Structure 1
Protein backbone atom coordinates (compact mmCIF):
# COMPACT_ATOMS: atom_id res chain seq x y z
CA UNK A 1 0.00 0.00 0.00
CA UNK A 2 1.38 3.38 -1.02
CA UNK A 3 -0.42 5.12 1.84
CA UNK A 4 2.62 5.01 4.13
CA UNK A 5 5.46 5.31 1.61
CA UNK A 6 6.48 8.74 3.00
CA UNK A 7 5.56 8.05 6.62
CA UNK A 8 7.78 7.51 9.63
CA UNK A 9 6.26 6.79 13.04
CA UNK A 10 8.40 7.66 16.04
CA UNK A 11 8.00 6.09 19.46
CA UNK A 12 10.16 6.00 22.55
CA UNK A 13 11.59 2.54 21.87
CA UNK A 14 10.87 2.01 18.18
CA UNK A 15 10.72 3.81 14.87
CA UNK A 16 8.46 2.47 12.11
CA UNK A 17 9.55 3.06 8.51
CA UNK A 18 8.14 1.91 5.16
CA UNK A 19 9.38 -1.45 3.89
CA UNK A 20 11.84 -0.63 1.09
CA UNK A 21 13.98 -2.76 -1.21
CA UNK A 22 17.06 -1.92 0.85
CA UNK A 23 15.52 -3.78 3.82
CA UNK A 24 14.96 -7.02 1.89
CA UNK A 25 18.35 -8.76 2.33
CA UNK A 26 18.21 -8.54 6.13
CA UNK A 27 14.53 -9.50 6.15
CA UNK A 28 15.34 -12.49 3.93
CA UNK A 29 18.11 -13.48 6.34
CA UNK A 30 15.62 -13.46 9.21
CA UNK A 31 13.13 -15.60 7.29
CA UNK A 32 15.75 -18.24 6.53
CA UNK A 33 15.15 -19.40 10.12
CA UNK A 34 12.63 -22.31 10.12
CA UNK A 35 11.47 -21.47 13.66
CA UNK A 36 10.64 -17.90 12.69
CA UNK A 37 8.82 -19.06 9.56
CA UNK A 38 6.81 -21.49 11.64
CA UNK A 39 5.90 -18.85 14.22
CA UNK A 40 4.75 -16.45 11.52
CA UNK A 41 3.14 -19.08 9.25
CA UNK A 42 5.42 -17.92 6.42
CA UNK A 43 6.64 -19.78 3.36
CA UNK A 44 10.33 -20.02 2.55
CA UNK A 45 11.12 -17.64 -0.33
CA UNK A 46 14.15 -17.10 -2.51
CA UNK A 47 15.78 -13.68 -2.36
CA UNK A 48 14.19 -12.76 -5.70
CA UNK A 49 10.78 -13.83 -4.38
CA UNK A 50 11.38 -11.74 -1.26
CA UNK A 51 11.99 -8.67 -3.44
CA UNK A 52 8.74 -9.44 -5.30
CA UNK A 53 6.93 -9.71 -1.97
CA UNK A 54 8.30 -6.34 -0.90
CA UNK A 55 6.88 -4.81 -4.07
CA UNK A 56 3.54 -6.47 -3.34
CA UNK A 57 3.51 -4.90 0.12
CA UNK A 58 4.24 -1.53 -1.46
CA UNK A 59 1.65 -1.62 -4.23
CA UNK A 60 -1.26 -3.84 -3.12
CA UNK A 61 -4.18 -1.91 -1.64
CA UNK A 62 -4.98 -4.66 0.87
CA UNK A 63 -1.56 -4.69 2.57
CA UNK A 64 0.09 -2.20 4.91
CA UNK A 65 3.52 -2.78 6.44
CA UNK A 66 6.25 -1.05 8.41
CA UNK A 67 9.75 -2.18 9.33
CA UNK A 68 10.39 -1.87 13.08
CA UNK A 69 13.66 -0.18 14.08
CA UNK A 70 15.26 0.01 17.50
CA UNK A 71 15.02 3.75 18.21
CA UNK A 72 18.23 3.79 20.28
CA UNK A 73 20.31 2.08 17.59
CA UNK A 74 18.80 4.26 14.88
CA UNK A 75 19.54 7.45 16.84
CA UNK A 76 23.15 6.38 17.29
CA UNK A 77 23.83 5.13 13.76
CA UNK A 78 21.21 6.71 11.47
CA UNK A 79 21.37 3.30 9.77
CA UNK A 80 17.99 1.65 9.21
CA UNK A 81 19.51 -1.73 8.35
CA UNK A 82 21.58 -1.87 11.53
CA UNK A 83 18.52 -0.82 13.56
CA UNK A 84 16.05 -3.36 12.08
CA UNK A 85 14.43 -5.63 14.67
CA UNK A 86 11.17 -6.74 13.03
CA UNK A 87 8.05 -5.71 11.14
CA UNK A 88 4.35 -5.07 11.63
CA UNK A 89 1.68 -5.72 9.02
CA UNK A 90 -2.00 -5.34 8.32
CA UNK A 91 -4.03 -7.36 5.81
CA UNK A 92 -7.25 -5.54 4.89
CA UNK A 93 -10.50 -7.14 3.77
CA UNK A 94 -14.16 -6.28 3.53
CA UNK A 95 -16.46 -8.43 5.65
CA UNK A 96 -19.51 -8.95 3.43
CA UNK A 97 -21.59 -10.35 6.29
CA UNK A 98 -21.01 -7.43 8.66
CA UNK A 99 -20.54 -4.85 5.88
CA UNK A 100 -17.34 -3.44 7.38
CA UNK A 101 -13.62 -3.24 6.75
CA UNK A 102 -11.38 -5.41 8.92
CA UNK A 103 -7.59 -5.39 9.31
CA UNK A 104 -5.72 -8.52 10.37
CA UNK A 105 -2.75 -7.40 12.46
CA UNK A 106 0.66 -9.03 12.73
CA UNK A 107 3.81 -8.18 14.66
CA UNK A 108 7.19 -9.90 14.43
CA UNK A 109 10.27 -9.08 16.48
CA UNK A 110 12.80 -11.19 14.59
CA UNK A 111 15.95 -10.24 16.46
CA UNK A 112 16.28 -12.42 19.57
CA UNK A 113 18.23 -9.67 21.33
CA UNK A 114 15.31 -7.27 20.82
CA UNK A 115 12.62 -9.48 22.34
CA UNK A 116 11.14 -8.79 25.75
CA UNK A 117 11.92 -5.07 25.59
CA UNK A 118 8.49 -3.74 24.70
CA UNK A 119 9.30 -3.13 21.04
CA UNK A 120 6.46 -5.29 19.75
CA UNK A 121 3.90 -3.65 22.03
CA UNK A 122 4.87 -0.12 21.06
CA UNK A 123 5.10 -0.94 17.37
CA UNK A 124 1.63 -2.47 17.39
CA UNK A 125 0.13 0.51 19.24
CA UNK A 126 1.65 2.87 16.66
CA UNK A 127 0.28 0.73 13.82
CA UNK A 128 -3.21 0.64 15.36
CA UNK A 129 -3.26 4.41 15.74
CA UNK A 130 -1.97 5.06 12.23
CA UNK A 131 -4.35 2.59 10.59
CA UNK A 132 -7.49 3.69 12.37
CA UNK A 133 -6.64 7.32 11.54
CA UNK A 134 -6.06 6.72 7.83
CA UNK A 135 -8.27 3.75 6.84
CA UNK A 136 -12.05 3.18 7.06
CA UNK A 137 -11.72 0.33 9.56
CA UNK A 138 -14.37 -1.03 11.92
CA UNK A 139 -12.36 -3.85 13.47
CA UNK A 140 -8.89 -5.32 14.00
CA UNK A 141 -8.28 -9.04 14.25
CA UNK A 142 -5.31 -11.29 14.94
CA UNK A 143 -4.76 -14.95 14.05
CA UNK A 144 -2.20 -16.54 16.35
CA UNK A 145 -0.80 -20.04 16.79
CA UNK A 146 -2.27 -21.68 19.89
CA UNK A 147 1.19 -22.27 21.35
CA UNK A 148 2.33 -18.66 20.88
CA UNK A 149 1.42 -17.58 24.40
CA UNK A 150 3.49 -14.39 24.24
CA UNK A 151 1.56 -13.10 21.22
CA UNK A 152 -1.76 -14.20 22.67
CA UNK A 153 -1.06 -12.29 25.89
CA UNK A 154 0.11 -9.28 23.90
CA UNK A 155 -3.12 -9.00 21.92
CA UNK A 156 -5.21 -9.67 25.01
CA UNK A 157 -3.42 -6.69 26.58
CA UNK A 158 -4.73 -4.65 23.63
CA UNK A 159 -8.26 -5.64 24.73
CA UNK A 160 -8.69 -8.15 21.89
CA UNK A 161 -11.21 -10.91 22.62
CA UNK A 162 -10.95 -14.52 21.48
CA UNK A 163 -13.75 -15.34 19.04
CA UNK A 164 -12.78 -18.78 17.69
CA UNK A 165 -10.27 -21.61 17.66
CA UNK A 166 -9.54 -23.73 14.61
CA UNK A 167 -7.86 -26.94 15.73
CA UNK A 168 -6.93 -28.07 12.23
CA UNK A 169 -4.86 -24.88 11.76
CA UNK A 170 -3.85 -24.76 15.46
CA UNK A 171 -4.97 -21.15 15.39
CA UNK A 172 -6.77 -18.70 17.66
CA UNK A 173 -8.61 -15.68 16.24
CA UNK A 174 -8.98 -12.59 18.42
CA UNK A 175 -10.89 -9.41 17.55
CA UNK A 176 -11.12 -5.80 18.68
CA UNK A 177 -13.97 -3.58 17.54
CA UNK A 178 -12.83 0.01 17.01
CA UNK A 179 -15.15 1.79 19.42
CA UNK A 180 -14.90 5.32 20.86
CA UNK A 181 -14.03 3.78 24.23
CA UNK A 182 -11.22 1.72 22.75
CA UNK A 183 -9.85 4.72 20.85
CA UNK A 184 -9.75 6.65 24.12
CA UNK A 185 -7.80 3.76 25.64
CA UNK A 186 -5.46 3.66 22.63
CA UNK A 187 -4.79 7.39 22.79
CA UNK A 188 -3.97 7.08 26.49
CA UNK A 189 -1.51 4.26 25.77
CA UNK A 190 0.48 6.27 23.26
CA UNK A 191 -0.07 9.84 24.52
CA UNK A 192 3.41 10.18 25.98
CA UNK A 193 4.97 7.41 23.95
CA UNK A 194 5.16 8.65 20.39
CA UNK A 195 5.01 11.35 17.79
CA UNK A 196 4.04 10.97 14.15
CA UNK A 197 5.89 12.59 11.26
CA UNK A 198 4.60 12.27 7.71
CA UNK A 199 7.91 12.59 5.92
CA UNK A 200 10.89 10.26 5.89
Structure 2
Protein backbone atom coordinates (compact mmCIF):
# COMPACT_ATOMS: atom_id res chain seq x y z
CA UNK A 1 0.00 0.00 0.00
CA UNK A 2 1.31 3.46 -0.85
CA UNK A 3 0.14 7.02 -0.44
CA UNK A 4 -0.07 9.48 -3.30
CA UNK A 5 -0.16 13.20 -2.72
CA UNK A 6 -0.06 16.29 -4.85
CA UNK A 7 -0.86 19.95 -4.48
CA UNK A 8 -3.47 21.17 -6.95
CA UNK A 9 -3.95 24.88 -6.59
CA UNK A 10 -4.39 25.51 -2.87
CA UNK A 11 -5.61 21.98 -2.18
CA UNK A 12 -3.62 18.93 -1.19
CA UNK A 13 -4.94 15.67 -2.57
CA UNK A 14 -4.02 12.39 -0.91
CA UNK A 15 -4.87 9.02 -2.40
CA UNK A 16 -4.13 5.51 -1.20
CA UNK A 17 -2.92 2.88 -3.65
CA UNK A 18 -3.28 -0.81 -2.81
CA UNK A 19 -2.43 -3.63 -5.22
CA UNK A 20 -2.14 -1.13 -8.07
CA UNK A 21 -5.63 0.33 -7.55
CA UNK A 22 -6.63 3.68 -6.11
CA UNK A 23 -8.60 3.22 -2.89
CA UNK A 24 -11.46 5.68 -2.44
CA UNK A 25 -10.48 8.02 -5.28
CA UNK A 26 -11.83 11.60 -5.22
CA UNK A 27 -14.62 10.66 -7.62
CA UNK A 28 -15.78 7.74 -5.46
CA UNK A 29 -19.47 7.82 -4.59
CA UNK A 30 -18.75 6.49 -1.08
CA UNK A 31 -17.21 9.78 0.05
CA UNK A 32 -17.82 13.45 -0.77
CA UNK A 33 -16.21 14.56 -4.00
CA UNK A 34 -12.74 16.07 -3.58
CA UNK A 35 -12.58 19.75 -4.47
CA UNK A 36 -9.75 20.27 -6.97
CA UNK A 37 -10.13 24.04 -6.90
CA UNK A 38 -12.64 24.24 -9.72
CA UNK A 39 -16.11 22.99 -10.51
CA UNK A 40 -17.89 22.61 -13.81
CA UNK A 41 -21.59 23.52 -13.79
CA UNK A 42 -23.86 20.99 -15.44
CA UNK A 43 -24.86 23.54 -18.10
CA UNK A 44 -21.25 23.79 -19.24
CA UNK A 45 -21.07 20.00 -19.50
CA UNK A 46 -24.14 19.96 -21.74
CA UNK A 47 -22.74 22.74 -23.92
CA UNK A 48 -19.45 20.85 -24.20
CA UNK A 49 -21.30 17.71 -25.32
CA UNK A 50 -23.29 19.66 -27.93
CA UNK A 51 -20.20 21.37 -29.37
CA UNK A 52 -18.03 18.25 -29.16
CA UNK A 53 -20.60 16.08 -30.92
CA UNK A 54 -21.19 18.82 -33.50
CA UNK A 55 -17.51 19.14 -34.42
CA UNK A 56 -16.99 15.36 -34.44
CA UNK A 57 -19.90 14.66 -36.78
CA UNK A 58 -19.15 17.71 -38.92
CA UNK A 59 -15.50 16.75 -39.47
CA UNK A 60 -16.13 13.04 -39.93
CA UNK A 61 -19.12 13.27 -42.24
CA UNK A 62 -17.57 16.17 -44.18
CA UNK A 63 -14.62 13.92 -44.99
CA UNK A 64 -17.08 11.37 -46.38
CA UNK A 65 -18.90 14.01 -48.45
CA UNK A 66 -15.73 15.35 -50.10
CA UNK A 67 -14.66 11.77 -50.82
CA UNK A 68 -17.79 11.14 -52.90
CA UNK A 69 -17.82 10.76 -56.68
CA UNK A 70 -18.82 14.43 -57.03
CA UNK A 71 -15.47 15.49 -55.54
CA UNK A 72 -13.23 12.86 -57.17
CA UNK A 73 -12.62 10.94 -53.92
CA UNK A 74 -9.86 13.28 -52.75
CA UNK A 75 -9.78 12.04 -49.14
CA UNK A 76 -9.74 8.23 -49.63
CA UNK A 77 -11.01 5.70 -47.09
CA UNK A 78 -7.80 5.74 -44.99
CA UNK A 79 -8.10 9.52 -44.92
CA UNK A 80 -11.66 9.27 -43.59
CA UNK A 81 -10.48 6.97 -40.80
CA UNK A 82 -7.69 9.38 -39.88
CA UNK A 83 -10.10 12.32 -39.79
CA UNK A 84 -12.45 10.51 -37.39
CA UNK A 85 -9.59 9.36 -35.17
CA UNK A 86 -7.90 12.76 -35.00
CA UNK A 87 -11.22 14.52 -34.41
CA UNK A 88 -11.99 12.28 -31.43
CA UNK A 89 -8.49 12.76 -30.01
CA UNK A 90 -8.56 16.55 -30.32
CA UNK A 91 -12.04 16.82 -28.81
CA UNK A 92 -11.21 14.53 -25.89
CA UNK A 93 -8.23 16.75 -25.07
CA UNK A 94 -10.33 19.90 -25.59
CA UNK A 95 -13.51 19.19 -23.62
CA UNK A 96 -12.87 15.86 -21.91
CA UNK A 97 -12.12 17.63 -18.63
CA UNK A 98 -15.49 19.38 -18.83
CA UNK A 99 -18.05 16.79 -19.87
CA UNK A 100 -16.09 13.55 -20.06
CA UNK A 101 -16.23 13.68 -23.87
CA UNK A 102 -18.90 11.02 -24.42
CA UNK A 103 -20.19 12.32 -27.79
CA UNK A 104 -22.23 9.15 -28.16
CA UNK A 105 -25.40 7.98 -26.37
CA UNK A 106 -24.06 4.42 -26.21
CA UNK A 107 -21.02 5.62 -24.25
CA UNK A 108 -23.19 7.61 -21.84
CA UNK A 109 -25.57 4.70 -21.27
CA UNK A 110 -22.66 2.26 -20.85
CA UNK A 111 -21.08 4.48 -18.20
CA UNK A 112 -24.39 4.78 -16.38
CA UNK A 113 -24.92 1.02 -16.53
CA UNK A 114 -21.49 0.49 -14.93
CA UNK A 115 -22.36 3.09 -12.26
CA UNK A 116 -19.68 5.45 -13.54
CA UNK A 117 -22.18 8.14 -14.53
CA UNK A 118 -25.41 9.26 -12.81
CA UNK A 119 -28.58 8.04 -14.52
CA UNK A 120 -30.29 11.37 -13.86
CA UNK A 121 -27.85 13.06 -16.25
CA UNK A 122 -28.26 10.52 -19.07
CA UNK A 123 -31.36 12.08 -20.75
CA UNK A 124 -29.74 15.53 -20.90
CA UNK A 125 -26.50 14.11 -22.32
CA UNK A 126 -28.36 12.08 -24.96
CA UNK A 127 -30.43 15.09 -26.01
CA UNK A 128 -27.24 17.19 -26.24
CA UNK A 129 -25.53 14.57 -28.39
CA UNK A 130 -28.51 14.17 -30.72
CA UNK A 131 -28.83 17.96 -31.01
CA UNK A 132 -25.15 18.39 -31.82
CA UNK A 133 -25.16 15.66 -34.48
CA UNK A 134 -28.38 16.98 -36.03
CA UNK A 135 -26.97 20.50 -36.26
CA UNK A 136 -23.80 19.13 -37.85
CA UNK A 137 -25.77 17.18 -40.45
CA UNK A 138 -27.85 20.27 -41.17
CA UNK A 139 -24.72 22.38 -41.64
CA UNK A 140 -23.30 19.89 -44.12
CA UNK A 141 -26.59 19.86 -46.00
CA UNK A 142 -26.43 23.64 -46.36
CA UNK A 143 -22.77 23.65 -47.44
CA UNK A 144 -22.79 20.86 -50.02
CA UNK A 145 -25.05 20.41 -53.00
CA UNK A 146 -26.79 17.12 -53.64
CA UNK A 147 -30.06 15.29 -53.44
CA UNK A 148 -32.23 15.82 -50.39
CA UNK A 149 -31.89 12.16 -49.43
CA UNK A 150 -28.10 12.07 -49.90
CA UNK A 151 -26.44 10.02 -47.16
CA UNK A 152 -23.21 11.50 -45.82
CA UNK A 153 -21.83 8.25 -44.52
CA UNK A 154 -20.14 5.06 -45.63
CA UNK A 155 -22.08 2.13 -47.04
CA UNK A 156 -21.33 -1.58 -46.52
CA UNK A 157 -19.66 -3.31 -49.45
CA UNK A 158 -20.39 -6.91 -48.43
CA UNK A 159 -23.22 -8.95 -46.98
CA UNK A 160 -25.40 -7.62 -44.17
CA UNK A 161 -24.14 -10.42 -41.93
CA UNK A 162 -20.51 -9.44 -42.56
CA UNK A 163 -21.29 -5.82 -41.81
CA UNK A 164 -23.09 -6.74 -38.58
CA UNK A 165 -20.20 -8.87 -37.31
CA UNK A 166 -17.60 -6.23 -38.16
CA UNK A 167 -19.64 -3.47 -36.50
CA UNK A 168 -20.14 -5.65 -33.43
CA UNK A 169 -16.41 -6.32 -33.08
CA UNK A 170 -15.23 -2.73 -33.60
CA UNK A 171 -17.94 -1.40 -31.29
CA UNK A 172 -16.72 -3.86 -28.67
CA UNK A 173 -13.19 -2.52 -29.20
CA UNK A 174 -14.45 1.03 -28.71
CA UNK A 175 -16.28 0.33 -25.46
CA UNK A 176 -13.49 -1.94 -24.18
CA UNK A 177 -10.90 0.82 -24.60
CA UNK A 178 -13.15 3.53 -23.17
CA UNK A 179 -14.10 1.41 -20.18
CA UNK A 180 -10.52 0.33 -19.51
CA UNK A 181 -8.80 3.67 -19.93
CA UNK A 182 -11.52 6.05 -18.86
CA UNK A 183 -13.07 4.34 -15.84
CA UNK A 184 -10.77 1.70 -14.35
CA UNK A 185 -9.07 2.91 -11.17
CA UNK A 186 -5.95 0.93 -11.99
CA UNK A 187 -5.56 2.90 -15.24
CA UNK A 188 -6.06 6.11 -13.28
CA UNK A 189 -3.40 5.22 -10.73
CA UNK A 190 -0.87 4.32 -13.41
CA UNK A 191 -1.15 7.81 -14.90
CA UNK A 192 -0.97 9.75 -11.62
CA UNK A 193 2.81 9.91 -11.57
CA UNK A 194 2.93 11.19 -15.14
CA UNK A 195 0.44 13.89 -14.15
CA UNK A 196 2.62 15.35 -11.42
CA UNK A 197 1.68 13.15 -8.47
CA UNK A 198 4.38 11.63 -6.32
CA UNK A 199 4.45 8.34 -4.43
CA UNK A 200 5.33 8.38 -0.78
The TM-score by the shorter chain falls in which range? under 0.3
Greater strand proportion: 1
Bigger relative CO (Cα 8 Å, ≥ 6 apart): 2
Using structure 1 for the length normalisation, give the TM-score. 0.25
Using structure 2 for the length normalisation, give the TM-score. 0.25
